[in-house]
Amino acid sequence: MRLGALLEAGLAEAQRAGRIRADVTTDDLLLAIGMLALLLGEFPASERTETAGRMWKLLRHGIEP
């Protein structure tokens, strides 16, 4: 199963439950994941866990209602 299809199913469920804004699309999530993955690769391995946590926190603030 492709990542987009997996995200689409999870996104629909999260939107129905009110955990993610209704205007967020699967393409938005794919774009965000791609940007985070690309940027995270620029950090030293020793900083990636902390940085990933900070990135996820910022992303959540952008997609939660």
3-state secondary structure the chain: CCHHHHHHHHHHHHHHCCCCCCCCCHHHHHHHHHHHHHHHCCCCHHHHHHHHHHHHHHHHHHHCC
Please tell me the predicted confidence (pLDDT) of residue 43.
Answer: 95
Please tell me the predicted confidence (pLDDT) of residue 1.
Answer: 61
* Residues in the chain with pLDDT values less than 70: 1
Please tell me the predicted confidence (pLDDT) of residue 7.
Answer: 92
